[in-house]
Amino acid sequence: MEELLREILETLKSERPKKITFSIQDAALYMGIGHEKVRELVDKKNTDFPYFKIGTRTAIDKRALDRWLEKITEEHRTI
């Protein structure tokens, strides 16, 4: 019975929708950098960092972030 419950829980976890937007903290964790650096990228004037606002909350689209990371990697950019 315990094994069956464990299997059901695993199935439910895997059926949850995948996260497509990140918070500042999520993006920092995803990129392996500090949240202060992500905040700096967002706050930078004329930034090309992919973010948008939902009210006062900053959100980062995962697909756009992946494309941005590819771009800065190809450019050998220092952030």
Q: Is 60 left (phi over 0), alpha (psi -120 to 50) or beta?
A: beta
Q: Give yes or no for a contact between 21 and 30, defined as CB atoms under 8 angstroms apart.
A: no
Paired with 60 in beta bridges are: 22
Q: Give yes or no for a contact between 23 and 38, defined as CB atoms under 8 angstroms apart.
A: no
pLDDT of residue 5: 79
Structural domain contains residue 4: no
Quote the number of domains for the chain. 1
Structural domain contains residue 44: yes
Banded model confidence at residue 16, pLDDT cuts 50, 70, 90: low
Structural domain contains residue 13: no
32 DSSP assignment: T
Structural domain contains residue 32: yes
Q: Give yes or no for a contact between 33 and 71, defined as CB atoms under 8 angstroms apart.
A: no
pTM: 0.75
Banded model confidence at residue 10, pLDDT cuts 50, 70, 90: confident
Query: Above 90 in pLDDT, residue 12?
Result: no
24 DSSP assignment: H
Structural domain contains residue 6: no
Query: Above 70 in pLDDT, residue 15?
Result: no
3-state SS, residue 4: helix
CATH of the domain at 39: 3.90.105
Structural domain contains residue 1: no
Which tens digits make up the pLDDT trace of 24-73? 999 999 999 999 999 999 999 999 999 999 999 999 999 999 999 999 99
